[in-house]
Structure 1
Amino acid sequence: MILAAGAILAPSTQAAWSLRTSPNPSAATTSQLRGVDCRSTTACLAAAQTSTVGAFSETWGGTSWLLWMVTPPPASPSNFQDVSCPPATSTCFLVGSAAGAGMARATNLSTWSSLTVPTVAGAVSLELTGIACTSGTACIAVGWYQTAGGSTLPYAIRCTGTTCTQDRVTLPAGTQGSLEDVFCLSSTNCSAVGWSHAPAGARRTFVVAWNGVAWSSQVSANGTNAQSSTLFGVACASTACVAVGRYTDTSAVQHTLALGKSGSTWVDLVSPDPSGTLPTFEGIACPSATACYAVGSYANGSGRATLVESYVTGVWTVLSTPNPAGSTDNHLADVACVTTPSTVCRAVGYSVDTVGTTRTLVEDGP
């Protein structure tokens, strides 16, 4: 199946996604789930943030989602943006920021511990946006920091146990940029994605690879007739990797964006757009080398609706997804999938109701 750039597909009814009840911290008017990882169909952890307590998490044990609050609470304001739960260990690692500094925490769902995040000289703020762990003692986290002069620059660290070391990420000459997500097939094989731009230029996709020694830039597509492009998520299975985001073309029309890794080059997979406007992918999971699920949102005329697209054996399908009753603004920020042997995915995000209250959102599929 070959799609024209920006092709619009109506939702398919072949796969059903369903809403799952998720809690919110007491008295919070704004709560969001930002990242999720699952070890099995009965063991997931979601990274979250709220207006009242800042960073928190939620755990899935097979029957319901439960709050798992950070103790002691991090400095305010704080948030969690992503989580990684490596195999063969009971520990999960969450990253975000606290009081303008990078934050990384570990939990075994019994206690919490802190990882030391290196500071950057001259930085006025720093945030970790993605993390990938290959074991309970080996993680890589990425994000960005901002200088006093207003420049945004990419940031990456390696963590061994509770000690983390910063590694240099080089941008194209004369540009700023950020890393938004990372995926590691091993401790010496990682891909991180985000964006870069010249001071007066539009954003372009930015992809770097880690070989165990250093980060190196890789060539990445930007979409057909792209004016501005950004990548937000990346996932791999075996040697197959897919990165997702959005791009705006020269006619100022926004489209979903999906890139596939081909050697050291990332090529356009030409993902379709849903029957709406302003679509974007924010997260992706690939439970196998031939199946991936990308999540995000799009404008549907009365607000924003959740978006899930499958990419199976080279074919894209826009899947039908629900939105909470009475909601006006719905987003899926991340997704995690496990296969045992059928594939089960859990997507997380947030939903805004008619009075402006933002609540956590979970959808299960496919």
Structure 2
Amino acid sequence: MAHSRCIRSRCLLMLAAFLVVVGVMMPLLSGTSFAKSTTPLRPATSSAKSWNIVSSPNQTSNNDNLSDVVAVSASDVWAVGTYFGNGGNPHTLIEQWNGTSWSIVASPNQGVRANLLYGVASVSANNIWAVGEYTDSNTIRHTLIEHWNGTKWSIVASPNQGTNNNQLSGVVAVSVNNIWAVGNYLNGSGIPQTLVEHWNGTSWSIVASPNQGT
């Protein structure tokens, strides 16, 4: 019985303390107003930059086209493409950014007919590759690969699949001894097929690649 009376007494004391706290806080809360902020929300400022046209040279007054670009550094950027000569045939076009302006860098052509560059990749400032195609005197297209050694561009021998048209449209450099180029060739039925070539540090070779469907 004594234990029960002790518990009841303790509960009554706790209830009394709670009522005292409520009695003190209610007047304070009743006079408090929570005003809604009238400060307008401001949109976040944007730091995005905009694109602008940078002057670039043309080889002739005929059609000039740039197809791909690669950046070695902020002051060493290369772009490749094609320009049409006075005879109507396209020729290779390579331009370089030196941090201040673009300029045309001499690049070779295979034969006297069409030469086009579609892709470019860099290993270093002295090791850059460009790929495309050229047309022979029989109007058959062949793979075209060119290399920059830090001083000049030169044509590097590259294989072709079959005897019909071949072309390379893209290239990527993994390392000095591991470079890949992709494109297509026409099979005996004139249907385009995948074409993959690899540079092992010494030469280019065709690597078998699958085709979807028949």
Deviation at 1:258, TM superposition (A): 0.3
Deviation at 1:165, TM superposition (A): 2.0
1:229 aligns with 2:139: no
- CA 161–230 in structure 1, closer or farther in 2 if over 3 Å, else same: farther
Q: 1:149-186: per-residue Cα shift (whole Å, max 9, x none)?
A: xxxxxxxxxxx943112111111233321000000011
Gaps of 5+ in 1: 1-159, 327-366
1:312 is aligned to 200
Q: 1:297-338: per-residue Cα shift (whole Å, max 9, x none)?
A: 000123111000001112111010100123xxxxxxxxxxxx
Contact 1:236 1:289 in 2 (8 A): no
Q: 1:322 aligns with which of 189, 210, 214?
A: 210
1:10 is aligned to none
Give the letter aligned to residue 212 of structure 2.
P
1:238 is aligned to 124
1:192 is aligned to 79
Gaps of 5+ in 2: 1-46
- Within-5 A mapping of 1:1-366: 161-198=48-85, 200-223=87-110, 225-239=111-125, 240-302=127-189, 303-326=191-214
CA distance in 2, matches of 1:257, 1:250: 15
CA distance in 2, matches of 1:278, 1:176: 24
Contact 1:189 1:209 in 2 (8 A): yes
Deviation at 1:250, TM superposition (A): 2.3
Deviation at 1:253, TM superposition (A): 2.1
Q: 1:316-366: per-residue Cα shift (whole Å, max 9, x none)?
A: 11010100123xxxxxxxxxxxxxxxxxxxxxxxxxxxxxxxxxxxxxxxx
CA distance in 2, matches of 1:175, 1:198: 7
CA distance in 2, matches of 1:196, 1:310: 27
Deviation at 1:262, TM superposition (A): 2.6
- CA 314–161 in structure 1, closer or farther in 2 if over 3 Å, else same: farther
Task: Please identify which structure carries the higher strand content.
Answer: 1
Contact 1:195 1:230 in 2 (8 A): yes
CA distance in 2, matches of 1:268, 1:199: 23
CA distance in 2, matches of 1:169, 1:323: 39
Give the letter aligned to residue 235 of structure 1.
A
Deviation at 1:200, TM superposition (A): 4.5
Q: TM-score, normalised by structure 1?
A: 0.44
Task: Please identify which structure carries the higher helix content.
Answer: 2
Contact 1:238 1:288 in 2 (8 A): no
Give the letter aligned to residue 313 of structure 1.
G
Greater gyration radius: 2
Give the letter aligned to residue 324 of structure 1.
Q
Q: 1:59-114: per-residue Cα shift (whole Å, max 9, x none)?
A: xxxxxxxxxxxxxxxxxxxxxxxxxxxxxxxxxxxxxxxxxxxxxxxxxxxxxxxx
CA distance in 2, matches of 1:248, 1:315: 22
Deviation at 1:242, TM superposition (A): 0.4
How many residue pairs get aligned? The number is 166
CA distance in 2, matches of 1:175, 1:161: 36
CA distance in 1, matches of 2:63, 2:186: 29
Give the 3-state SS of the residue equivalent to 1:227 in structure 2.
coil
Deviation at 1:272, TM superposition (A): 1.2
CA distance in 1, matches of 2:137, 2:163: 19
Structure 1 stretches of at least 4 aligned residues deviating more than 3 Å after TM superposition: none
Q: Percent identity?
A: 30
Deviation at 1:270, TM superposition (A): 1.5
Deviation at 1:199, TM superposition (A): 5.3
Contact 1:219 1:264 in 2 (8 A): no
